[in-house]
Structure 1
């Protein structure tokens, strides 16, 4: 189970890092023309970059606290924050008529639920 939790956290961290770098460093106008990126054209560039920075922090929060053994409780806390972010992403993509992206976000949400549950329960780092 510990290995499965590490794999899920690693997958989520990879997704968060890729999305965060994209949102932080790719111009909003270019993001708005990409598939699934139309929503970025409707909000400020600052908001998009803030989301990107939060996703980069999430990538770090899913891995580093456990690896460095510094506040490892931050791993499930980060997973819970990722759940909230995915709910928002699902709502946004649903409003834009992008059911495939809603399903992708639901998969990420399920992984985050598993990580949060596992790290708060049976495979906690606290002990």
Structure 2
């Protein structure tokens, strides 16, 4: 189970470190081709989402790696599921039906939740 957790959580963390970093450092104009929703979202909210994504990624890796508060890995995984559920809602409200990535991330984060239960 530990190997499965590290593989799944590592992939999920890598995705969110990249996605969160992009939201933190790129301008609205640079983000628009990739993320149409940023046109109606304040940049402070986009930056906050990026920070949350990066913190979630760190939360998946550091607590189990250090053994300090390993329950935080479970909290991070649950948080990423909630984040993607909300992101899917935003896409659907905007009329954007391209939510395959969101649904995939929900599924991967849900698997991570199950695997993170081993740290409790």
TM-score by length of 2: 0.92
1:9-49 residue CA offsets vs partner (Å, 9 max, x unmatched)? 011101110110000000123212x13x1110101110000
Give, in angstroms, the shift of residue 84 of structure 1.
Answer: 0.5
Give unmatched runs, 5+ long, in structure 1. none
1:1-127 aligned at under 5 Å gives the runs 1-32=1-32, 34-35=33-34, 37-100=35-98, 102-120=99-117, 124-126=118-120
**TM-score normalised according to structure 1 size:** 0.87
For structure 2, the 5+ residue unaligned runs are: none
Give the deviation of 1:97 after TM superposition. Answer: 3.9
Partner-residue secondary structure (3-state), 2:68: coil
Distance in 1, Cα, partners of 2:101 & 2:41: 22
Q: How many residues align?
A: 120
Query: Aligned-pair RMSD on alpha carbons?
Result: 1.3
